[in-house]
Structure 1
Amino acid sequence: MSENSYTYDHPSTFNHDIPITCVNIDDDKSDDICASLRMIFEEVGRTLNIKSLKGISIAVGDEGYRKAIDLIDSSRQVSNGEVIGCALTITNIIEGGLESYIVLKDVSIVPLLVEEAAKDGGQVAFMLQVIAHECAHIHGDDLFHEVMGDIPKIEEYKSHYSAFVFDISIVGWSEFSACFFSAHIGQCSEQSFRDIVESKVEGIVDDLESFKLMRLEPVDLLISVYKNIGNLIKFSSYYIGWMFNNELKPEKTKLYESLKNSWFLSYFLELDSIYEDILSKLSNKQLEFDEILEIGHLSKRIAEHFGFTTTVDRNNRTGIFFNN
């Protein structure tokens, strides 16, 4: 299925009998598509732990994709940012255990839908990488839950700043670990990850400076700034996960070369060190949740670089942003 070898002589962790739901897909095609999909998941499940996967949905079109996600969890939303969602993993803790579901949009499984695309090595490699990445979310979630157990929920954080730190940390770790565990499968995503980090590093400067001129209320300013910084940390986490998978130090990558004269280089290296520390402690089962939050706390230091100071009121209820 790919030039990249990832199948070993291990029993698969994939439950071949789990349901696959098809949305907006013709019935006469669905059986063959589902059979092929089960074979792929069977192989990926030989190197990634996907025992907690309880169901898969595949959907044609944006509306079908939203419907498929809504059937699993109506609180989830399709990404509408720089990266348009083409796949999603939903994991919930049920009675102390994990239950995961994967939703795949048609653009991520074109070789299963179009006969000619099945002969296109590039499209097949892209499909395998998307599926492996979603499976790696499950693998990483399982490992994280095994070590950490139940973690706080975002609604438990009373200030806007603390909630952003939590969200940025969880999202960053999730994307880092998914890439770390899956980047060797299917298409190499180095260039696409690098392109989006470089774009965000360049664009965020104008975005943050423009917020200073908008006369926003403090909380609205905080939300605008931290969403932008959070996205930069998330996309950087993709790239660093790919780096760790390939056992590369930052200075050996093309992204490092492009960041040499950038304001962001020191923060990128700091994020790299944070993930290295987290992985080391996770492997020794000594990780504390506050150490995960170091990912999100990096956002405050980036905000300070651009002249923003973050404060929290006495009641710890509202994160306030002041422009220096």
Structure 2
Amino acid sequence: MNQPETNPDAPLPRPSTFPDGLRVQVQGFDDQQAADGLGEQLTALFVQMGRYFDIQRLDGVTIAIDYEEALRSLDRGCATRELAPSRGRTVGVAMTPSVLRDGVLKSHVFVDAAVFFGMLKEDRYERAMQLLAHECAHVEVNAHYDRCFPDTLLRTKYMNAQQGARSEVILASWDEYAACALSAKRGENPEADYRETFLNDLADARERGNECIKAYRLHSQVGQIVREIREIYGGLMKHAAYYLGNAAGFGKSWRDDPAVAEALTEHWFLPFFERLETALAALYAELGVWPNHDGFEVIGDIGEDLMCEGGMYFYDSPDHPGEVGVQLPLTPDTVPY
């Protein structure tokens, strides 16, 4: 694996934060000796990454041929849902979930080996480096959040669907914005991919949401429709956050991007997009020194307003304090436009 050229006289940004004794694990290769050699090379690379990102809370790095099984088998240190790669419109090839180790929140990086080594074989070294840098940024972002709000990640039980939906939207949007902003100038610029994914979601989120509401009239599964609407509109926010975070990292504005500016002109999502940009930028300006959780709750408010715009909203149950109900339109045609 080729290493990038470096200037030996250039000062390093800081001592590496890569944890002593940790080694990158390469899993699923028939040739174990070759896998061990790759692991050593990648360990050296992560040591260098640790000079640019604070990854002292890194639990481990696993680059696996069977990416799905590697995720599924992770011991997260607490009872939680089973991990799985993203499927559907976007296919996940890397993930950095939180874990608990002796009461300390850490992060474990997983990478799909077939995709990662495929990039290297195709001489897309800079793209592969951006992939790793992005996951290292997630390690730093998770640690910042845990230091400011301890006993929250992996340790909060939500009382109802509204709290759960808000948390999913808040963390997904914030995490990706911050990770993209932190890693923006490491490796290949992923702007084109982020733009395409966001614009694809923007084009048909309302249509997909309406189809789910139509189906709900037949299956009547409240948990299913809540999950689907949250995934559609929360996904739109998350993919907007990818794009916005990367733009912020490069000091660019979406208003100077003709494709995005044109797509958002007079679009129903524009006011939500502008609110999201403002909220995320404010949080990033106080990275790791947030005095309270108020700025994050702003993102939750945007998410709830967006789901309401799509035809679903939560309301307090009058008969059961602390519980919420879910309201959907009587017919899909009543979804507001």
TM range (shorter): 0.7 to 0.9
**In the TM superposition, what are the counterparts of 1:241-280 in structure 2 within 5 Å?**
241-254=245-258, 255-280=260-285
How far off its partner does 1:277 sit?
2.0
Q: Distance in 2 between matches of 1:90 and 1:152?
A: 10
Distance of 1:2 and 1:198 partners within structure 2: 33
SS in 2 for 1:15: coil
Tell whether the 8 Å contact from 2:16 to 2:51 is kept in structure 1 after alignment.
Answer: yes
In the alignment, what sits opposite 1:301?
305
Q: What is the letter of the counterpart of residue 279 of structure 2?
A: I
**Which residue of 234, 237, 243 maps to 1:239?**
243
Tell me what 1:52 maps to: 57
2:41 matched to 1:36? yes
Q: How far, CA to CA, are the matches of 2:230 and 2:118 in structure 1?
A: 38
1:204 is matched with which residue?
Answer: 205
Match of 1:310, SS state, is strand
Which residue of the partner structure matches residue 87 of structure 1?
94
Q: Secondary structure at the match of 1:102?
A: strand
Going from structure 1 to structure 2, the CA distance change for 1:44 and 1:225 (only over 3 Å counts) comes to same
Task: Name the residue aligned to 2:326.
Answer: 320
| Cα distance in structure 1, aligned partners of 2:50 and 2:239 | 26
Measure how far apart 1:73 and its partner are. Answer: 3.2
Change (3 A) 1:155 1:149: closer
Q: Which residue of 1 aligns with 2:142?
A: 141
Contact 2:107 2:142 in 1 (8 A): no
Match of 2:107 in 1: 100
CA distance in 2, matches of 1:15, 1:172: 28
Residues 26, 36 of structure 2: 8 Å contact kept: no
Which structure's residues are more often helix, by fraction? 1
Match of residue 189 from structure 1: 190
Per-residue deviation at 1:257? 3.5
Shift of 1:209: 2.0
Q: Is the 8 Å Cα contact of residues 174 and 241 (structure 2) preserved in structure 1?
A: yes
Cα deviation for residue 158 of structure 1 reads: 1.8
Higher RCO (CA 8 Å, separation ≥ 6 residues): 1
Taking only aligned residues, the RMSD between alpha carbons, in angstroms, comes to 2.6
| 1:13 counterpart (2, 6, 17) | 17
Deviation of 1:3 (Å): 9.0
Would the alpha carbon gap of residues 3 and 86 (structure 1) be closer, same or farther in structure 2, given more than 3 Å must change? farther
| Matches of 2:6 and 2:323, distance apart in 1 | 50
Look up the equivalent residue of 2:295 and give its one-letter code: E
Q: 1:7 and 1:73, CA in 2 relative to 1: closer, same or farther beyond 3 A?
A: farther
Where in structure 1 are there 5+ consecutive unaligned residues? none
Rounded to whole Å, the distance in 2 between the matches of 1:303 and 1:149 is 29
2:296 is aligned with 1:289: no
Q: How many residues align?
A: 314
Distance change in 2, residues 1:58/1:272 (3 Å): same
Q: CA deviation at 1:51?
A: 0.8
Say which SS state the counterpart of residue 311 (structure 1) adopts. strand
Aligned-residue offset at 1:131: 0.5
Structure 2 distance, partners of 1:9, 1:15, is 17
Pairwise CA distance, 1:184: 1.0
**Structure 2 CA distance for aligned equivalents of residues 307 and 54 of structure 1:** 41
Task: Work out the CA distance in 2 between the residues paired with 1:23 and 1:250.
Answer: 40
Paired position in structure 1 for 2:174: 173
> How much does 1:109 deviate?
2.2
Measured against aligned partners, the alpha-carbon deviations of 1:263-299 in whole angstroms (never above 9, x if no partner) come to 212111110011122223445x243224313222212
The change in CA–CA distance for 1:319 and 1:180 in structure 2 (over 3 A counts) is farther
Match of 2:73, SS?
helix
SS of equivalent residue, structure 2 residue 97: strand
Percent of aligned pairs sharing the same letter: 21
Closer/same/farther in 2, CA of residues 81 and 147 from structure 1, 3 Å limit: same
Q: Which amino acid aligns with 1:150?
A: D
Map Cα deviations across residues 163-203 of structure 1 (whole Å, 9 max, x no partner).
10111111111111111111111111111101111100111
The 3-state SS of whatever aligns with 1:55 is strand
SS of equivalent to 2:91? coil
Matches of 2:155 and 2:243, distance apart in 1: 25
Structure 2: stretches of 5+ with no match in the other structure: 77-81
- Checking the alignment, whether the CA contact within 8 Å between 2:209 and 2:229 is kept in structure 1 is yes
CA distance in 2, matches of 1:37, 1:30: 10
Residues 4 and 184 of structure 1 are in contact (CA less than 8 Å); yes or no, is this contact kept in structure 2? no
Do the aligned partners of 1:148 and 1:287 also contact (CA within 8 Å) in 2? no
1:89 and 1:134 in contact (8 A); partners too: yes
Q: Could you tell me how far apart the structure 2 residues matched to 1:154 and 1:234 are?
A: 23
The 3-state SS of whatever aligns with 1:83 is: coil
TM-score, normalized by length of structure 1?
A: 0.87
Distance (whole Å) between structure 1 residues aligned to residue 96 and residue 280 of structure 2: 22
Separation in structure 2 between the aligned mates of residue 244 and residue 313 of structure 1, nearest angstrom: 41
